[in-house]
């Protein structure tokens, strides 16, 4: 008699696929932008008052929330750096970048930031925080195998910045940049050999800034697809910057140039 094979089990909703978004700024931004993504909430005594509104939202949706002891919150968060509150949430979908849609953003004068191989999730979070601080609306992540995607760590470091950005994926970045170059002034970055940042002039088209991998920078094909390459010149003995620090400097400078161009 042939034994029947048991039917394949349906994949359970894996806990690791849910994000643990820690810290009050990140949790508050999540509830403001997409409260439906939150599955449950944990907080300790010190943030009981601040969590009240979040709990009311979850109660209305019949979702759980709990006041827990610090050691349990640490276990839930997977880190000591939880800031007293953790939301367990479904991840966002990352749509593919549509160059035709991006052309409309360019017509509205909106700068675009693209990351190609930025692999450290803390750097991703710090860059997202700076981008949101400087008023950018969108962030594009390439299909580089090293590219970090939004994660527990990046959400925590972003301090809510990721919720204020629409995040896209771009396949075949070099070709994408050539297409974006019809509408944006595509600006690549290099640790040395590029045009000094201070030499950039205001442009009629908005910038599309491309930042590369922490160790290897931008690939040759990506650099060749950029209209210009810029370098932040060192003034001291240390010859390089963390990519998230570079991002902040460049976004500040380009925002000023964009404002100058708009004021002409």
Identify the structural domains of the chain with CATH numbers, from first to last. Answer: 16-89 (3.30.1330.30), 99-262 (3.40.1280.10)
pLDDT at 202: 78
pLDDT at 262: 62
C-alpha of 162 from chain center: 5
CA distance 143 to 115: 10
Residue 139 predicted with pLDDT over 50 = yes
Please list the alpha-helical segments (H only) found in the chain: 24-33, 52-60, 70-77, 99-107, 121-133, 152-158, 173-180, 220-224, 243-262
The mean pLDDT value for 195-217 works out to 90
Would you place residue 163 in the very low, low, confident or very high pLDDT band (cuts 50, 70, 90)?
very high
pLDDT at 260: 63
Residue 2 or residue 109, greater confidence: 109
Residue 122 predicted with pLDDT over 80 = yes
Residue 101 or residue 237, greater confidence: 101
Q: Average per-residue pLDDT in the chain?
A: 91
Residue position matching structure tokens 């004021």: 263
Q: Is 187 in a helix, a strand, or coil?
A: strand
Residue 239 or residue 125, greater confidence: 125
Residue 1 predicted with pLDDT over 60 = no
Residue 190 predicted with pLDDT over 60 = yes
Residue 239 predicted with pLDDT over 50 = yes
Pairing of strands 185-189, 207-212: parallel
Residue 166 predicted with pLDDT over 80 = yes
pLDDT at 83: 92
Assess contact for 163 and 19: CB atoms under 8 A: no
pLDDT at 204: 79
Percent of the chain with pLDDT over 70: 91
Would you place residue 9 in the very low, low, confident or very high pLDDT band (cuts 50, 70, 90)?
very low
């Amino acid at each position: 008699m042939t034994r029947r094979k048991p039917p394949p089990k349906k994949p359970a909703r894996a806990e690791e696929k849910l994000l643990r978004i820690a810290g009050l700024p990140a949790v508050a931004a999540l509830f403001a932008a997409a409260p439906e993504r939150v599955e449950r909430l944990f907080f300790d005594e010190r943030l009981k008052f601040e969590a009240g509104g979040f709990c009311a939202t979850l109660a209305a949706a019949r979702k759980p929330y709990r006041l827990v002891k610090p050691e349990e919150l640490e276990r839930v968060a997977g880190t000591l750096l939880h800031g007293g509150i953790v939301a367990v949430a479904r991840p966002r979908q990352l749509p593919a970048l549509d160059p035709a849609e991006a052309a409309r953003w360019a017509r509205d004068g909106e700068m675009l930031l693209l990351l190609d191989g930025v692999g450290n999730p803390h750097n991703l979070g710090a860059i997202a925080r700076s981008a949101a601080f400087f008023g950018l609306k969108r962030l594009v992540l390439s299909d580089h195998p090293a590219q970090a995607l939004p994660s527990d760590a990046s959400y925590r470091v972003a301090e809510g910045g990721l919720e204020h950005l629409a995040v896209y994926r771009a396949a075949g970045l070099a070709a994408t940049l050539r297409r974006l170059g019809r509408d944006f002034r595509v600006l690549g970055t290099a640790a040395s050999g590029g045009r000094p940042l201070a030499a950039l002039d205001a442009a009629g088209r908005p910038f599309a800034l491309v930042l590369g991998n922490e160790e290897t920078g931008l690939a040759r094909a990506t650099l060749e697809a950029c209209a210009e390459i810029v370098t932040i010149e060192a003034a001291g003995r240390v010859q390089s910057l963390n990519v998230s620090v570079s991002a902040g400097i460049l976004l500040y400078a380009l925002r000023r140039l964009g404002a100058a161009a708009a004021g002409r």
